[in-house]
Amino acid sequence: MYLPAGNHILRAELNTGGYNFNYILVTPAVNNPVLATAPGCLKIFPNPVQDKLYMKLNREYTGTLDIFSSDGILVYTSRYISSGESTLVTDTESLSPGVYTLRWVSPERVGWGRFVKALP
């Protein structure tokens, strides 16, 4: 859901059971509110990952990488500076096996990805 700048009240109402409604993640807008990664701009591999996650960017970026666990807890954050086409490497050895959400925040955009940390 995208909302214009300003104050908003969001309300979620669940009338029946069977839903898993654990959290809502709200992120601030950036200078250019492109909230999805353009195709081919961000590649995450390998997936599933064992100990090193690679993130390939096809242009110059300065940004922050955040990794969230499946229950929405921030488990990793780091600031990166790339020049031209580059591949960033993140050590995932300390992560428990499971599904993770990756967020890349740069001055131009916010990109999201998902990866699986495999069993050793």
Q: Where are the domains of the chain?
A: 1-120
- Core vs surface per residue 7-28: b (16+ CB within 10 A) or e: eeeeeeeeeeeeeeeeeeeeee
> pLDDT digit of tens for each residue in the chain (120 aa)?
556 666 667 666 666 666 555 555 555 544 433 334 455 567 889 999 999 999 887 666 788 899 999 989 999 999 987 666 678 889 999 999 999 999 888 877 777 888 999 988
Four-way CATH pick for 1-120: 3.30.930.10, 2.60.40.3080, 2.40.10.10, 3.30.420.40:
2.60.40.3080
pLDDT of residue 32: 37
Q: How many CA atoms lie within 13 A of 13 on its CB side?
A: 2
- Which structure tokens are listed for 51? 């100990």
In 23-97, the DSSP E strands lie at 42-45, 52-57, 62-68, 74-81, 86-91
